[in-house]
Amino acid sequence: MPHDALWWKKEKDAVRCLLCPHRCLMTENETGLCGLRQNTAGRLITHAYNRVAALHIDPIEKKPLYHFLPGTRTLSLGTHGCNLRCLHCQNAGISQTVPSGGGQLLTPHQLVDLALKNNCPSISYTYNEPVVFYELMYNTAKLAREAGLKNILVSSGFINPNPLRQLLPLLDAANIDLKCFRSETYRNLCGAELAVVKQTLKTLLKAGVWLEITTLLIPGQNDNASEINDMCRWLAQNGFTETPLHFSRFFPAHRLSHLSPTPLSMIRTALSLAHQNGLRFVYPGNVPPSFYQIN
């Protein structure tokens, strides 16, 4: 459902989106890189509003959030589209496609009602990248807050500072992907910038939003011990020692379907490096039960 977008400005006969660091410049009828925001008659509109492509009730631990409302269920929603191009995308069916009349039409009021009726104390903006459905997330989060529900952002953190600042007062918790710790790898792996994500993490921490971080360890991409050590040291030196860190195991997907799953030994090495650097809450993700028995 086309809806006026936030965060843009006119530039001569084009409009520039100011929502994420791509800062797409769009002439008449052009869409931005995310495929969701379009210059329509000299205004920026979003095609994601009210058009929900994925809606589930998940255990909150699936986000993953291990230290926030543990044992509860969260109403989780996503749309089509993404501002990243992750080679390993695990939701490409929705994130790397645009709405074409599909999806469920659900307003912010209806989403909040669904959460209440299903006894979910929170709503999670997740599955694809919530930044690209900012307006739906923002309006839903406002109503959710009024109804006494918590708001959870599950994101890559590739957002400009001003839109993030406007969202902060409505956020209760976030899980942010820290995809690797080398700038060039970040660009090649997903088309985002490490420096932006680091700043997002610092902003969320400073604002007092409950924060957890996830790193998917991908063989040959971001799984060398020195890079993981650098990441853990940076986290420790920047106030994240109490922030839960999840090292998730990669399984072949999307454009990296030729790779093998992450060896369990690599997950163990990462956990150990994190502990050595003083990070207090570090968890493996996507591992079999035998992982814990061997330990």
- Closest-by-Cβ residue to ligand SF4 is 32
Residue ranges of alpha helices (H) inside 192-288 are 194-207, 225-237, 264-276
Contacts of 208 (CB under 8 A, 6+ apart): none
Residue 137 sits in the site that holds ligand SF4 (CB under 6 A): no
Residue 19 sits in the site that holds ligand SF4 (CB under 6 A): yes
Residue 37 sits in the site that holds ligand SF4 (CB under 6 A): yes
Name residues contacting ligand SF4, limited to 250-269 (CB under 6 A): none
Report, in Å, the least distance between residue 9 CB and ligand SF4. Answer: 12
Residue 33 sits in the site that holds ligand SF4 (CB under 6 A): yes
Residue 85 sits in the site that holds ligand SF4 (CB under 6 A): no
Residue 9 sits in the site that holds ligand SF4 (CB under 6 A): no
Q: Which CB sits closer to ligand SF4, 37 or 249?
A: 37
* CB half-sphere exposure, 244, CA atoms < 13 A: 19
Q: Which CB sits closer to ligand SF4, 95 or 122?
A: 95
How many residues are present in the chain? 295
Residue 197 sits in the site that holds ligand SF4 (CB under 6 A): no
Q: CA-CA distance, 119 to 271, in Å (whole number)?
A: 35
Which H helix or E strand runs over 249?
strand 245-249
Report, in Å, the least distance between residue 21 CB and ligand SF4. Answer: 7
Residue 77, CA distances (Å) to 51, 125, 127, 162, 210 in order: 10, 5, 7, 23, 20
Site for ligand SF4 (CB under 6 A): how many residues? 12
Q: Which CB sits closer to ligand SF4, 192 or 266?
A: 192
Contacts of 34 (CB under 8 A, 6+ apart): 20, 22, 24, 81, 82, 83, 129, 132
One-letter amino acid of 219: P
Report, in Å, the least distance between residue 160 CB and ligand SF4. Answer: 8
Report, in Å, the least distance between residue 33 CB and ligand SF4. Answer: 4
